Amino acid sequence: MKTYTAKPSDITKEWLIVDATNVPLGRLATRVANLLRGKHKPIFTPHIDTGDFVVVLNASKVRLTGNKRETKMRYRHSGYIGGLKAVSYGRLLDQKPDFVIREAVRGMVPHNRLGRAQLKKLKVYTGNDHPHESQKPREIKIEEVG
């Protein structure tokens, strides 16, 4: 049995819309990462970008389960002594909800050139409006959890 490798002529990229309203952040990120990578297609090849373009709407309405809004922190370091900065995810969701979703998805795609190319196909918007109507995107439903 031969191993199948997708050729550029076989790959068709679609535009998909995902509504993040009341969806847990981790569940949203895994589904979006799989769509970006192309794992939902039968022609999936790990080392070739077979994924689709994904537009995430209502990023400000994404949910964090439990008490993660207060306890989960995002850290960054300036490189100097005492330069560790910590920001809670609740504050990040209020200020930059698109950044929170982008970072969650970034951790779930490959950490190489292929992953960076796949992340360029992710478009995140805080509201319900987006400038991609001319691409005729198709809506994908992600289950909400009560």
What CATH number does the domain containing 56 carry? 3.90.1180.10
Give the C-alpha separation, 136 to 146, whole Å.
31
In this prediction, residue 3 carries a pLDDT of 87
DSSP lists the bridge partners of residue 54 as 16, 122
In this prediction, residue 72 carries a pLDDT of 95
The percent helix, strand, coil of the chain (3-state, each to 5) is 30, 20, 50
Residues 112-132: pLDDT tens digits? 999 999 999 999 999 999 999
Would you say residue 74 lies in a domain? no
Residues 66-108: pLDDT tens digits? 999 999 999 999 999 999 999 999 999 999 999 999 999 999 9
Please state the domain count of the chain.
Answer: 1
Would you say residue 105 lies in a domain? yes
Give the range of the structural domain holding residue 24, as residue numbers without chain letter. Answer: 15-63+96-140
Residue 146: pLDDT above 60? no
Would you say residue 38 lies in a domain? yes
Would you say residue 118 lies in a domain? yes
Q: Regarding beta strands 73-77 and 84-88, do their DSSP bridges make them parallel or antiparallel, or are they unpaired? A: antiparallel
Would you say residue 85 lies in a domain? no
Would you say residue 113 lies in a domain? yes
Q: Using 50, 70 and 90 to split pLDDT, how confident is the model at 144?
A: low
Token representation of residue 16: 């998909």
Residues 28-55: pLDDT tens digits? 999 999 999 999 999 999 999 999 999 9
